[in-house]
Amino acid sequence: MIYFLSEEGAFKEAVSRSSASYLMVNIYGKRVALAWPDEDAPRLTTGASFMTIRRPYVLSSREFKPEDTFVDVGERVRIGPDSLTVAAGPCSVEDEGELLELGSSLKRMGADMLRGGAFKPRTSPYSFMGLGEEGLRALSRARDELGLPVVSEVLDAASLPLYKKIDMVQVGTRNAQNFPLLQALGEFGKPVLLKRGMGNTVEEWLGASEYVLSRGNGSVVLCERGIRAPGSPTRFSLDVGAITKVKRLSHLPVCADPSHSAGESDLVEPLALAGVAAGANMLLVEVHQHPEMALSDGDQQITPEEFSSLVNKARALWDLLNRAGVKERDELESRLRDRVRKHRRDSGRGGTRPPELP
C-alpha cells in the first residue's frame, strides 16, 4: 500500500520522524508526496489530505488523475482522446534513402509519425540487429526533412544520450519490466511508448508505467502489442479487452500494435480496426516498400498501398465511434454503471431495481 499526501510541509515533518520511504514528484502540474509501506502510514497523515491505494501503481491510476492525459510528441502531434494518432514505418531502418522515400509516402497517406528500429532486440544473436547509431541518424534526418516526429526503440539506459533527436522512445515487450531502464526514461523526459510485456498482466503493465511516472515523466503511452496465448492462431494475441480495461484503470493514452500481434500481413488491417473499436488512441503499424525483402519481421509488414487502405478505414471507424452523440451515450452509460455499482454496494448486492438516470 502507498500513501499519497498533498501537503508537503506537514508531510515532510512527519516523515522525518518515521522510518517510511518517500518520494516527492512533480507531475501533471502537481507536487505530490508518496510514502510507503502502510505500517508507517497512520503516523504520516498529519491531518493533510491523503489517499491510500492498494496496487502497484498510483500516478497512472484514474483515482489519482480522473481526466484523460494528452501526450505531446514534437510540436504537432498530440496523442489523446481527441484524435487517432497513426505511427507507421519499417520494423528496422535499413537504408536512409529508402526511409525518406517511404516516410514521404506514409505522410501523404495520413501517417502522423514515422517509426523505425535502429537497435533491434532479436531472438537470435545471428539475426540483423539494426543499423544502430546510423539508423538513429537516418531517423532524425527523416524527421527534419519530412516534418514527422519519429519513434524508435531503446534497449538500454546507456544508449539514451543517442536518442536526443528522437521524439518518442519506445520500450519493447522484451524490456517491458526493465526497471532501471524505465527509471532512466523517467529522468530522460522524452515521451515514452511503453509496450506491454508479452506475458504481463494489465496490473504489471501499469506498474511498469509507474516507474517512468514516479521519476516525474508523465508522457507515457501504453502500447498493447499482443500477448502469448496458447492455441492462438496469431503470432501474439492482440488483447483488445485489455485496451478497454486499461483505459478504465488509467488516464494514459493507449496504442494498439496490430503488426506484432498479427505476425502476418493479411491480419494487420482487421486487428488495427479491432484496436480502434476497443478504444485505442494510437496505432503503430509496420510498413515496408518490399516486405518480402525486409531484414526483420518481413511476414507482418504491409505495403504502403495496404497502409493507405488501413489508415482510411481506421480513421472512418474512429470518427464513427467518437462522433459527439456516440460519446455522450458512452458517458451516460458509464454514469449508469457507476450508479448501479454504488447501489449494489449500498444495498449489500441486493436484487432491488437500480436507480434510473435523470
Q: Which CB atom, from 174 or from 315, has the smaller least distance to ligand PEP?
A: 174
Task: Report whether 190 contacts 220 (CB < 8 A).
Answer: no
Q: Which CB atom, from 174 or from 339, has the smaller least distance to ligand PEP?
A: 174
Minimum CB separation from Mn ion for residue 325, in Å?
38
Minimum CB separation from Mn ion for residue 257, in Å?
9
Distant-in-sequence, close-in-space partners of 40: CB < 8 Å, separation ≥ 6: 3, 18, 19, 20
* Cβ-closest position to ligand PEP: 172
Q: Which residue has the cell 483515482?
A: 63
Q: If contact means CB under 5 to 8 A according to the sort of partner, which of ligand PEP, Mn ion, none does residue 94 touch? A: none
Minimum CB separation from Mn ion for residue 297, in Å?
4
Buried/exposed code over 5-24 (b: 16+ C-beta within 10 A; e: otherwise)? beeeebbeebbeeeebebee
The 3-class secondary structure across 136-173, one letter per residue, is HHHHHHHHHHHCCCEEEECCCHHHHHHHCCCCEEEECH
**Interface positions with Mn ion (CB under 5 A):** 91, 297
Q: Which CB atom, from 25 or from 118, has the smaller least distance to ligand PEP?
A: 118
Q: Which CB atom, from 68 or from 204, has the smaller least distance to ligand PEP?
A: 204
Q: Which CB atom, from 255 or from 314, has the smaller least distance to ligand PEP?
A: 255
Whether a cis peptide bond, with omega within 30° of 0, leads into 81 is: no
Distant-in-sequence, close-in-space partners of 324: CB < 8 Å, separation ≥ 6: none
Q: Which CB atom, from 88 or from 91, has the smaller least distance to Mn ion?
A: 91
Nearest one of 190, 121, 194, 184 to 149, comparing CA atoms: 190
Q: If contact means CB under 5 to 8 A according to the sort of partner, which of Mn ion, ligand PEP, none does residue 172 touch? A: ligand PEP
Q: If contact means CB under 5 to 8 A according to the sort of partner, which of ligand PEP, Mn ion, none does residue 269 touch? A: none
Minimum CB separation from ligand PEP for residue 174, in Å?
6
Minimum CB separation from Mn ion for residue 228, in Å?
16
Minimum CB separation from ligand PEP for residue 305, in Å?
21
Q: If contact means CB under 5 to 8 A according to the sort of partner, which of ligand PEP, Mn ion, none does residue 173 touch? A: ligand PEP
Nearest one of 271, 212, 235, 272 to 85, comparing CA atoms: 272
Q: Which CB atom, from 59 or from 117, has the smaller least distance to ligand PEP?
A: 117
Q: If contact means CB under 5 to 8 A according to the sort of partner, which of ligand PEP, Mn ion, none does residue 250 touch? A: none
Minimum CB separation from ligand PEP for residue 199, in Å?
12
Whole-number Å distance between alpha carbons of 292 and 215: 42
**Interface positions with ligand PEP (CB under 6 A):** 91, 117, 153, 172-174, 195, 225, 257, 260
Distant-in-sequence, close-in-space partners of 333: CB < 8 Å, separation ≥ 6: none
